[in-house]
Amino acid sequence: MLVAGNWKMHTDRDEALRLAAEVVRRTEPEARAVDVAVCPPFVWLDAVRERLHGSRVALGAQNVHPAASGAFTGEVAPPMLAALGCRYVIVGHSERRQHFGESDAFVGEKVRAVMGAGMVPILCVGETLAERDAGEAEAVVRRQLDGALDGVTLDEAEALVVAYEPVWAIGTGRTATPEQAQAVHAFIRERLGARFGAAGRGVRLLYGGSVKPDNAADLFAQPDLDGGLIGGASLDAEAFAAIVRAAQQTGA
């Protein structure tokens, strides 16, 4: 199981440092059995890294540019994140697709670049409410997966994480039911298996979208859910730790 906190564009410096320290303290026992990660804003990565030092909590970034360097004002390159000690990088989050026009092909470039820099992409996919209502959830997820994984080789399952995040469940308090999540996760697992064989079938599949302490256990109990990508609840160390605990208990 992997539980990753996506802090989005929240926290000031003091809050980020306090939150990191609290996550370390509150997830100490569970972090032996469950992989735990936090993804702060770029500007706090270095400071948070120091706060995580010596703990089992890993560091992740929320975004990246695919080029290794160059004239891309305001962007951050994969080697920069690797040098900061990032293990994970979230790519293709629906907020990036929606507000910054990121295409499947561009997300795919990021996946390859993150892997090339020795980090693990957390590739986000998920349909909007209109797409779900039109019966297109699986078709959308298939298109996003195929677009982002084109040209990717996967030798080991640990090199990739996929997060299914239905857009209608993100930040809305409206979670997918465990059955809805499981159905799409099973579909993703099958696609990854068809593309990458055993390594693909072993890729960890996170669910994201209004995961809270009171719904985490039911979601994580589904056979193809290997953890969660947590937004709002990751800003509260107690709630985040409770979700980690749920992952430890259902994953055990």
The DSSP bridge pattern shows strands 35-39 and 2-6 to be: parallel
CB nearer to ligand PGA: pick between 89 and 199: 89
CB of 73 to ligand PGA, least distance (A): 26
Specify the amino acid at residue 18: R
Q: What are the residue numbers of the active site?
A: 93, 165
Please give the sequence-ordered ranges of beta strands (E in DSSP) within 57-216, or none if there are none.
57-61, 86-91, 120-125, 161-164, 204-208
CB of 20 closer than 8 Å to CB of 234: no
CB of 242 to ligand PGA, least distance (A): 14
Q: What are the residues binding ligand PGA (CB under 6 A)?
A: 6, 165, 170-171, 208-211, 229-233
Specify the amino acid at residue 43: V
Closest-by-Cβ residue to ligand PGA is 231
CB nearer to ligand PGA: pick between 199 and 215: 215
CB nearer to ligand PGA: pick between 20 and 199: 20
C-alpha pair distances (Å), 43 with each of 13, 17, 37, 39, 187: 9, 12, 17, 11, 36
